[in-house]
Amino acid sequence: DGGITQSPKYLFRKEGQNVTLSCEQNLNHDAMYWYRQDPGQGLRLIYYSQIVNDFQKGDIAEGYSVSREKKESFPLTVTSAQKNPTAFYLCASMTGFGTEAFFGQGTRLTVV
Amino acid sequence: AQKITQTQPGMFVQEKEAVTLDCTYDTSDQSYGLFWYKQPSSGEMIFLIYQGSYDEQNATEGRYSLNFQKARKSANLVISASQLGDSAMYFCAMKRGDWPRMGGNMLTFGGGTRLMVKP
């Protein structure tokens, strides 16, 4: 079955560490997105990519970085510059006509 | 700038009754799309329904329908015959453009409404 796979499901980060969240899709979608969700809040856009080797900052890109070397993969790195990284991170891809966005199961990141 | 407002932080509904979740939006675009997603406690985002700004008829998907009032900039979700499994967070979202466009079809989300279905 087609879908989006995020890993790991839970991730713990020590202060000052960089961590990378994986996002893989087999839906053949060009557009992929990373969102952050804080408890009781809506989703906020971190980065998005419309095509391989191209990506754009979203509303809260500071302290994050991404790459898009393959159509199927859009990993997110949470750097030590992100001062409050504890959150739920969701990866998404969108159909060509933009009528449906598919989401992964999410990664819950906690700073310890 | 786009903005989505969901004014009901939490709602209760009796099982088997219908419920309306409110969503208002603000945009200067002529073309846009509106989505509703369900998020159970597991955290996954489940797509429910989509409405394009040029669609003349309200979208329906099974027990879900979208009450689209363009002039009032509202896109309320109606769930008919509520079930216990409908208890979850519900998010309204909007994308710019009703078709693929340069710059991305990014979604802007509202703050969500927590729906609780009583047996």
Query: Does A5 contact chain B (CB < 8 Å)?
Result: no
Name the residue facing B43 among A50, A56, A106 (closest C-beta). Answer: A106
B86: helix, strand or coil: helix
Distance from C-alpha of A90 to C-alpha of A56, rounded to nearest angstrom: 17
Beta bridge partners of A65: A77
Distance from C-alpha of A55 to C-alpha of A74, rounded to nearest angstrom: 10
Query: Does B91 contact chain A (CB < 8 Å)?
Result: yes
Query: Does B32 contact chain A (CB < 8 Å)?
Result: no
| Whether residue B117 has pLDDT greater than 80 | yes
Distance from C-alpha of A32 to C-alpha of A75, rounded to nearest angstrom: 10
Query: Does A41 contact chain B (CB < 8 Å)?
Result: yes
| Whether residue B105 has pLDDT greater than 90 | no
A50: helix, strand or coil: strand
Q: Which residues, 6+ apart, have CB-to-CB distance to B19 below 8 Å? A: B11, B13, B78, B79, B82, B115
For the stretch A15-69, pLDDT in tens is 889 999 999 999 999 899 999 999 989 999 999 998 899 999 999 999 999 999 9
Residue B103: what pLDDT? Answer: 47
Residues of A in contact with B66 (CB under 8 A): none
